[in-house]
Structure 1
Amino acid sequence: MKYILAFEGIIVGIIAGSLAIIYRLAMAYSEITLEYILAFGSTHIWAMAAWFGVLTLMGLVVGFLLKWEPMISGSGIPQVEGELQGCFKASWHRVIIGKLVGGIICMFGGLSLGREGPSVQLGAMGGKGFSRIFKRINIEERYLITCGASAGLAAAFNAPLAGTIFALEEIHKNFSATILFSAMTASITADFVSKYVFGLSPVFHFTVTGFIPLKDYWLVILLGVLLGFAGVFYNTVLLKSQVIYGKFRGLKPEFRPVVPFILAGVLGFTLPQVLGGGNTMIQLLGSGKLVLSGMLVLLAVKFIFSMVSFGSGAPGGIFFPLLVLGAYIGGIYGTAASAYLGIDPVLINNFVIIAMAGYFTAIVRAPITSIVLITEMTGSFDHLLALSVVAIAAELTAGMLNGKPIYDCLLNRILANRNDEPVIDSIDKILISTKVRQNAMIHNQSIADIDWPDSCLLVSIIRQGKEIIPKGNTVIYAHDTIVALTDEKDTIMINEVLREMCEEHEYEFDLKLSQSRL
């Protein structure tokens, strides 16, 4: 099973990587075309008026796509998590079409949305499509969806390790050798495909000539605490933005995307740096030419524009915009520390880099992913200690403030707004079979004495080719195959728990061997 999934992970990685490449290329050409349109419109009033008409039309088209396929709304990551949890079953081909078309239109219009969420959802649906075409079983399909999500993020950011960790830490919410290996093969494959097209350079380019002295690490800890507060505030406002849209009764959901498109038009002719995911803002920050007041203005406008864009339900992610916001918080913090605390100005970019990790941690509540992601995106391990410290401080602060992971909150909101029940419930059952290894936890124990997981019923034991109906006093031995019945929505969790109970434990084996020698 492990090696079959690894081979399928390679195929899914190619599919997910190809979808992410299409999305990234379309975004790049959209940004270039948008710059030309804005430059032309700023000198021709009629072109400016015509552009606002086009923006309104694009908003209506996106609204129509959202009505046609609601699962393409927003980031797409909560929808993937819901799919794995059995909350709904998306139509993979409709999601791929709708997300590609809708996301590209949003990027062409300049909305403050990122490419990572759509890439994750596109990759996940690519994995599901592969599973459906080749008629894989349910549990294998869920593994392939996870592989596709991992590959999508890897291709979006040239970050294969971060894609793997994110799939396990945030989407799959479980670490296992099987899914780790298959997700890694998918991520590395997608990363190879992506780098073949976009090159080997990291996503962010910051000039760093020094390192934060250990005596000044109190500033790193303080920054992590501030980012913890800022992350909780971000989540609160983001969720409120969706509520505010809902309060306008006359503004139907399919018309809501028009609002950020019109705002994008206004900002395009007044402050174009805040348009799109934030590449221009990152380049400005990395150049070192921005003063403190300029960073504050760009941070405030980008924050508000991001809330308006995502709150409308338009298809697009929050990853990249929130990393840009985190970078600017770090830039402001580093500039202030340099001006008032005597910190060497060459260290400002260090604070920019580590702030992205802290802000991401506080919002998504995935510290391991944040550390690995920023390390890969900057192409340097030199900041690993500072990244770890700021991520831990931000995680602890957000936890003490009772901040919830943003994608869990968004998934809960989607479920709360649904009029129907999840498509998978306790009526749908699935059988799981696992072989008991030598020295397993349940070896030589009676069924009544074993602490079985909830939502799991042992229905059969296969021993030497014969089936045994289990009873309370039935003893399980090595080489038995146990067959359990569980809810379909709990398949992944139960399978992992049973596998842990049935696999060989080396520590116990070594202990018994040592005792026998004595």
Structure 2
Amino acid sequence: MTGKTFDGLIHWRDFKLKVFFEGIIIGLFSGLIIVAFRYGLEQAESLRELIYHTTSWSSYKIISLALGLVFIAFTLNLIVKKEPLVSGSGIPQVKGILTGHLKIKWLTVLILKFFGGILAIGAGLSLGREGPSVQIGATVGQGVSRLLGRLKIEEKFLITSGASAGLAAAFNAPLSGVIFAVEELNKNFSPAILMSTVAASLSADLVTKLFYGSSSAFNFPQLPILPVNYYIHLIGLGLIIGLFGGLFNRSLLKTMELKDKLGSLPNTVIIAIPLLIAGVLGYLLPEVLGGGNQLIDSLNQHYFSLSFLILLVLVKFFFTLISYGTGVPGGIFLPILVIGALTGNIYHDLIVNTFHISPLYSNNFIIFAMAAYFTAVVKAPITGSILITEMTGSFSHLWALITVSTVAYLASDLLKTKPIYEALYDRILAKKQPLPKNAETMILIETIVCLGSEISGKTIKTIVWPKHCLLVNIKRGDQEIIPQGDTRIYAGDHIFALVNKNYATEIEHSLCSLTMEIDHLP
């Protein structure tokens, strides 16, 4: 290990300050690029609406539209073929980079994800901007790391900062960006991660607000407080949403397996089929096209009959499956929020008719269902609750959001489905050729010693540590400790280990087993 690496670990306070300022730089650049990405999507969607709102349709216009959609399919196939890691959401790919299992050409991925996302979502596929925004932000973080010549052990912090900034800029939700980075990407709390992601998210959100103002992503003004005696209906909503979320996860994975079985069919044809379906839906049911921001806002502004809401949720559900199943750039973050919002509206109408509750709380059930559906699919209840709170601009409903999200999380576990991004990440790794075990690229892993863990109170020399890792630093409060054989480990210690990246996943699991509370081990 080089002297620069030791210096960074020993002077941990300086390291945290450095990644904080680097997070600001990453957030500013990510914010500018995501603003441009959002603007491009808006222009593409405006063009799409202009085309489909044309009153006079002729055979010539229909043929021209079909040829245009096929050309987009051809272009998207070229993009995915050029760089397979731009396909899909991008969030599983970011997880792979952080664990050291995936390598990307950051500039190539940034450019292709940018234009591929605009083409796919702008053409009408039921995909969201948030996944591409997270991956674009992560590539910015990696690009800054490479341009500044940072060490591999530092790059993880900068990539995470960029991903956090990407989500913050996509939804005007800086706190959600930070929570998402901790809960979903790293699944570990670290002061350095916290400082860098906060800096990146806030600076990205500042840039976004300069262009788009301070308004929330969704327009739900003056939401009344849900009475406590209505919470029984939240439990029912959470149970239904949790089961539907588990069904969505399984259906999405089955759709992707089906796509793999169609290997003999040209990929351009596979992409063209949902694009042509989008062309038909653009004329018959344009509400289900694209991510769905306008559809969620319209639920607050217009009344839809129960039968029309059921039609919308069914079509959006299946169209999202086949859209994502193509493998083109685009996320499922926003579409699952739309499916949740529609389900919440349907549930509210049913309980109004059945239990004769006040119709005043329709919007409450819409936003609660969004948080619940996100939680059921992604298995990130804190992110879901905070995200919907920020996106609706109302912090007075956090207790109800947490309640319904918790119930949805427990209900989705009944189906024993993996969190969707973990399942998609596993698919990527299953298809990937393993790296040679003689590759000696080293990365830094951090873990926290829990109260009651197996190693709490023991000295380092008495602990059986995993192979292929080197304990290099212990952080205890503000104290930095260079590990020695007689150094004793205590609950609350942050342990840093330098590991060969080819063994990173196995070592991280082993370290977590050592540091977790014994009663919580599986």
- The TM tier, using the shorter chain, reads 0.7 to 0.9
Q: TM-score, normalised by structure 2?
A: 0.86
Match of residue 362, structure 2, among 343, 348, 357: 348
Query: Match for residue 509 of structure 1?
Result: none
Match of 2:179 in 1: 165
1:18 aligns with 2:29: no
Q: 1:260 aligns with which of 256, 264, 274?
A: 274
Helix, strand or coil at the partner of 2:284: coil
1:368 maps to what in 2?
382
Residue 191 of structure 1 aligns with an amino acid whose one-letter code is: D
Q: TM-score, normalised by structure 1?
A: 0.86
Residue of structure 2 equivalent to 1:317: 331
Code of the aligned partner of 1:475: D
| Distance (Å, rounded) in 2 between the aligned partners of 1:2 and 1:176 | 10
Q: Superposition pairs for residues 398-409 of structure 1, below 5 Å?
A: 398-409=412-423
| Alpha-carbon spacing, 1:121–1:41, altered in 2? closer, same or farther (3 Å) | farther
Q: 1:78 matched to which residue of 2?
A: 92
Aligned match of 1:388 in 379, 402, 414? Answer: 402
Q: Is the contact between residue 443 and residue 476 of structure 1 (CA under 8 Å) also seen in structure 2?
A: no
1:296 aligns with 2:296: no
Distance, in Å, in 2 between the alignment partners of 1:469 and 1:4 is 23
Structure 2 residue identity aligned to 1:449: T
Pick aligned residue for 2:220 from 206, 214, 217: 206
Contact 1:234 1:363 in 2 (8 A): yes
Q: Distance in 2 between matches of 1:55 and 1:84?
A: 36
Q: Which amino acid aligns with 1:85?
A: T
User: In 2 relative to 1, CA 458–404 (structure 1 residues): closer, same or farther, beyond 3 Å?
Assistant: closer
Give 5+ residue unaligned stretches, structure 2: 1-14, 447-452, 475-481, 490-494, 516-522
Task: Using the aligned pairs only, state the percent identity.
Answer: 44
| Kept after mapping to 1: 8 A contact 2:100/2:443 | no
Matched, 1:475 2:486: yes
Cα displacement string for residues 174-198 of structure 1 (whole angstroms, at most 9, x for unaligned residues): 1111101110110000001011111
1:86-140 CA deviation, whole Å, 9 max, x = no partner? 1110110110111111111112211111000000000000100111111110011
2:191 aligned partner: 177
Question: Which of 477, 486, 489 pairs up with 2:499?
Answer: 486
**Residue 496 (structure 1) shift:** 13
Q: How far 1:400 moved relative to its partner?
A: 2.8
Q: Which amino acid aligns with 2:462?
A: D
| Partner of residue 101 from structure 2, selected from 87, 105, 120 | 87
What is the aligned counterpart of 1:428 among 437, 440, 443? 440
Distance in 2 of aligned mates of 1:322 and 1:49: 32
Shift of 1:362: 0.3
| Aligned position for 1:118 | 132
Distance 1:447 1:279, change over 3 A: closer
Q: Distance in 2 between matches of 1:68 and 1:99?
A: 11
Counterpart secondary structure, 2:499: strand
Q: Is the 8 A contact 1:41 1:48 kept in 2?
A: no
What letter matches 1:338 in structure 2? V
Q: 1:413 aligns with which of 399, 417, 427?
A: 427
The answer on whether the counterparts of 2:218 and 2:293 sit within 8 Å (CA) in structure 1 is no
Give the partner amino acid of 2:420.
I
Cα distance change, pair 446–217 in 1 and its aligned pair in 2 (3 A)? closer
- Which residue of structure 2 lines up, in the alignment, with residue 65 of structure 1? 79
CA distance in 1, matches of 2:341, 2:445: 48
Equivalent of 2:248, from 234, 237, 240? 234
* C-alpha spacing 1:376/1:95, structure 2 compared with 1 (3 Å): same
RMSD: 3.0
In 2, the alpha carbon distance for the partners of 1:202 and 1:424 equals 47
Structure 2 SS opposite 1:269 = helix
Shift in CA distance, 293/426, structure 1 to aligned 2, threshold 3 Å: farther
Cα distance in 2 for partners of 1:345, 1:444 equals: 57
Q: Deviations over 1:202-250 (max 9, x none)?
A: 0111244523221121110111111110100000111111122223243
TM-superposed deviation, 1:348: 1.1
Please give the alpha-carbon distance, in whole angstroms, between the structure 1 residues aligned to 2:243 and 2:499.
Answer: 41
Equivalent residues in 2 for 1:20-39, closer than 5 Å: 20-39=34-53
CA contact under 8 A between 1:208 and 1:347: conserved in structure 2? no
User: Take 1:222 and 1:396, find their aligned partners in 2: how far apart are those partners?
Assistant: 12
Residues 460 and 28 from structure 1, CA distance in 2 versus in 1: closer, same or farther, beyond 3 angstroms? closer
Residue aligning to 2:478: none
Partner Cα distance (1:229, 1:257) in 2: 29
1:333 partnered with 2:344: no
Q: Are the structure 2 counterparts of residues 294 and 176 from structure 1 closer, same or farther at C-alpha, using a change threshold of 3 Å?
A: same
Q: In the alignment, is the contact (CA less than 8 A) between 1:59 and 1:255 conserved in 2?
A: yes
Contact preservation (8 Å) 1:426, 1:487:
no
Equivalent residue number for residue 505 of structure 1: none
In the aligned structure 2, how far is the partner of 1:469 from the partner of 1:104? 50
1:40 offset after TM fit, Å?
2.6
Decide whether the 8 Å contact of 2:87 with 2:327 is kept in 1.
yes
Shift in Å, 1:19: 1.6
Aligned-partner residue type, residue 488 of structure 1: K
The aligned residue for residue 141 of structure 1 is 155
Query: 1:202·1:379 contact (CA, 8 Å) conserved in 2?
Result: yes
Aligned length: 481
Partners of 1:131 and 1:106 lie apart in 2 by: 29
Higher mean Cα deviation, 2-11 or 29-38? 29-38
TM-superposed CA distance for 1:469, in Å, is 12
Equivalents in 1 of 2:438, 2:384: separation in Å?
A: 35
Structure 1 residue 271 corresponds to structure 2 residue 285: yes
2:261 — aligned with what? 247
The question of whether the paired residues in 1 share the 8 Å contact of 2:165 and 2:177 is answered with yes
**Distance 1:424-1:349 versus aligned 2 partners, 3 A rule:** farther
